[in-house]
Amino acid sequence: MRRLPTVFLSATLMLCGGAAHAFAQTRLPLPPNPEPRVRAMINGGYQPSTTTFDDSFTFSLYQETGTTEASYSVDAGAIFEGGAAVRLWKGLALGGVISHFTVDAAATVTSSVPHPFFLQRNRDVSGEPDGLRREETAIHLQAQYQLPPAGKLHVVLAGGPTIIDVKQTIVIDVNYTEEFPYDTAPFTGVDSKRGTGTAMGFNAGVDFQWMFNPNLGAGALVRFSKATVDMNVDNRIIQVEAGGTQIAAGLRLAF
């Protein structure tokens, strides 16, 4: 009878050990990682699109009316942007991107300046001022759809309305020198003022993402956006085209 507790203890330990071994062999697999809910990006890139626009105005001098015509050229330049999107259902998400584009624009101005002594004998004054800065800040609101991934490659289609704010340095006066007999007026420069305007357009693009792990990756995108902006400067309206094709690359984050 004294051996009964020892036998009972040994049997209990063997039973517990067997149960632990069986549990280790039959444990349930861990649930898969949930799909990221929020995705973010930071990009640097290039806007290869170029655009041109014209402006003209009149002025009074020596009891006559003079005219000035200006042609502007906005070249390609760098862009910087950041954005995020929230997944709503499966591959569908809503997001937004803020991008900024800055470049120094060139212009050609031609002014018809009245003569101080003779009526209707205007002198032509022309020049090419530079450093006329163009800035575009765009808010791209997007519906996004992520295609089924191919391994680590994710492809996201996006599009929606775009709000573009434009700031552009505009010529408001042409400067020149005058000497007797005043038959010529050599160009010396311009006076300028910043015009501003905001308009709504659209955007559409595709983003290629290579995810190193579920939370970090790199991506490259191509986007096209466009808006027609009525820019106000010196109490006149100048219509300009904003946006264009943009190519950018950077980091992709998922949470």
Is 14 part of a structural domain of the chain?
no
Assessment of whether the complete model's pTM goes beyond 0.75: yes
Is 215 part of a structural domain of the chain?
yes
Domain that holds residue 72: 34-254
Is 106 part of a structural domain of the chain?
yes
79 confidence band (pLDDT: 50, 70, 90): very high
Q: Which position has the higher pLDDT, 17 or 96?
A: 96
- State residue 4's pLDDT score: 43
Cβ neighbors of 23 (< 8 A, separation 6 or more) are none
Is 241 part of a structural domain of the chain?
yes
- State residue 130's pLDDT score: 84
Chain center to CA of 234: 27
**The domain spanning residue 40 has which CATH number?**
2.40.160.20
Please state, in angstroms and rounded to a whole number, the distance separating the CA atoms of residues 146 and 209: 10
How many angstroms separate the Cα of 124 from the Cα of each of 23, 187, 191, 201?
Answer: 96, 9, 17, 39
Is 191 part of a structural domain of the chain?
yes
Torsion of CA 91, 92, 96, 101, to 10 degrees: 60
Is 4 part of a structural domain of the chain?
no
Which ranges of the chain does DSSP label H, i.e. alpha helix? 3-25
218-234 pLDDT tens trace? 999 999 999 999 999 98
Strand boundaries in the chain, DSSP class E: 38-47, 51-61, 64-74, 77-89, 92-113, 123-127, 132-146, 153-176, 187-213, 216-233, 236-254
Chain center to CA of 1: 88
Is 24 part of a structural domain of the chain?
no
Is 212 part of a structural domain of the chain?
yes
Please state, in angstroms and rounded to a whole number, the distance separating the CA atoms of residues 163 and 42: 19
33 confidence band (pLDDT: 50, 70, 90): low
Cβ neighbors of 19 (< 8 A, separation 6 or more) are none
> Count of domains in the chain?
1
178-221 pLDDT tens trace? 999 999 999 999 999 999 999 999 999 999 999 999 999 999 99
**Which of these ranges, 7-11, 63-67, 126-130, 204-208, has the smallest mean pLDDT?**
7-11
